[in-house]
Amino acid sequence: MEKAIIGKKVGMSQIFDTDGKVIPVTVIEAGPCVVVQKKTAEKDGYEAVQLGYDDVPERKLTKPEQGHIKKAGVSPKKHLKEFKLNKAAEMSVGDVVKADVFAEGDHVDVTGVSKGHGYAGVIKRHGAHSLKATHGSGPVGRHAGSMGSGTDPSRIFKGKIGAGHMGVDQVTIMNLDVVKVDPELNMIVVRGAVPGPKGGLVTIRSTAKTIVEKKGDAGTSANPQKASARVNPQKASARR
């Protein structure tokens, strides 16, 4: 079943599993969200729901936004986001989506806006190398360098790395594990890093990846012709 929710990135931390191994995690304050609008196949050609997140004073909304919210009969929301879900037809306007829609062990895709780094050069932005820092480099040690020949093609090809605005891009990290869910604190903890600064808006939805379940460890074959069945007595692993 596809699930989705809107939240805020709280920050990163770490927890320990039962084996004592450290797990880097990101804490997300997810929801509660409310269904503001419902799209149907008969009227709109597809099925989806629009979720609203984060209460805001009505005076901070535009007149069209105020009318849209009043039509749904819900409190004013700062963020609206539409999700195409296979169970959208079963949801209704006014339904509340909380953090417990996800459970421990779920695989999710998290989308956020990356941190802004301002105007950056090619070394910071694209990982280009600098010239030697000894003698003769002059004032161009961190410049982009030659862009190509002059007469032919007499232009710079599209996609050439260069200095420019870095960050503030929509980034999706796919197939993260949900490590912990706390409905009382509206908290979802996922394994790994999530794009964006602390307090940045993120969306969580069921992963688009195909999850292949592990079938257990490979056993030792009984066929003496297979390498897994041959035991080398010279190896320490074979000596009891």
Q: What pLDDT, on a 0 to 100 scale, did the predictor assign at position 26?
A: 93
CA distances from 163 to 49, 115, 116, 171 (A): 40, 17, 14, 20
pLDDT of amino acid 146? 81
Structure tokens at 76: 């004013």
Q: What is the pLDDT of residue 114?
A: 93
**Where does 102-146 show beta strands of DSSP type E?**
107-113, 118-120
Contact predicate 123/167, CB 8 Å: no
- Other C-beta atoms lying within 10 Å of the C-beta of residue 74: 17
Among candidate residues 29, 4, 27, the one with its CA nearest the CA of residue 80: 4
Contacts 24+ apart (CB under 8 A), 126-134: 126/161, 128/161
- Per-residue pLDDT at 237: 60
**Cα–Cα distance, 76 to 54 (Å, whole number):** 8
pLDDT score recorded for residue 173? 92
Q: With a cut of 70, which residues of the chain have pLDDT below it?
A: 1, 215-240
DSSP 207: -
Give yes or no for a contact between 80 and 162, defined as CB atoms under 8 angstroms apart. no
- Which tokens belong to 7? 């939240």
What is the predicted pLDDT for the residue at 154? 83
Residue among 207, 188, 209, 190 at smallest CA distance from 6: 188
Predicted local distance difference test score (pLDDT) of residue 239: 54
Determine the pLDDT at residue 223: 66
- Answer left, alpha or beta for residue 186, where phi above 0 means left and psi between -120 and 50 means alpha: left
